[in-house]
Amino acid sequence: MFMLFTTPAAPKNGVKEGADTVINAIREGAQKSGTDFSYLLKTAKQESSLDPKAKATGSSATGLFQFVEQTWLKTLKDSGPQLGLSRYASAVVETKSGRLDVPDPAMRNEILKLRSDPKIASLMAGALTRSNAASLSDALGRKPDAADLYIAHVLGANGAAGLLRNSEIHPDT
């Protein structure tokens, strides 16, 4: 009896084998949210190496795009209804302190687990990117490029706008 052993295929373009499902989810999310596929793909590679189950140590960041809880809840609350996620968006409430929360623990758990769903995470990343682009355009008086958008993904739109404005005023610092 002969046994045939095969070696795994080499990653294509630095992408792990089996990532086709994730890449297709990102493509679909880009199309549905009106966001650039290439930008979303690069962001997911940078943030999670295309691992939908990625979890940061030391923060609540989870999923392909490493959404922290508050950013996830805000994006869901703001953009979820337009993207077919009204059921979840309506469960998110703002507390007196201004934080976002989901009072029902089971629903909260369900909503936060969606960060690990490639399709929904890609939709939300697209929505966040569009929101960041609009905020940066207003703050900077110009269309943001991919690097600007990535800074906003990491720092938030306000943090990115401050950093970018400062770098334009003081380019040597």
Tell me the per-residue pLDDT of 14-60, one tens digit each, with 9 for 90 and over: 445 457 999 999 999 999 999 999 999 999 999 999 999 999 999 99
How many Å apart are CA 16 and CA 24, to the nearest integer?
14
Q: What is the mean pLDDT of the chain?
A: 85
pLDDT score, position 161: 62
How distant, in Å, are the alpha carbons of 9, 10, 18, 19 from that of 6?
9, 12, 16, 19
Q: Given pLDDT bands bounded at 50, 70 and 90, which one contains residue 157?
A: low
Tokens standing for residue 87: 């059921």
Distance from C-alpha of 26 to C-alpha of 34, rounded to nearest angstrom = 12
Instruction: Report the percent of the chain where pLDDT is more than 90.
Output: 65
Q: Tell me: pLDDT of 122 over 90.
A: yes
3 is written with which tokens?
């046994």
In this predicted structure, the answer to whether residue 114 has a pLDDT above a threshold of 90 is yes
Task: Check whether 2 has a pLDDT greater than 50.
Answer: no
CB 94 within 8 A of CB 102: no
Confidence check: pLDDT of 69 > 50:
yes
- Whole-structure pTM value: 0.81
pLDDT of residue 173: 60
φ, ψ (nearest 5 deg) of residue 152: -65, -35
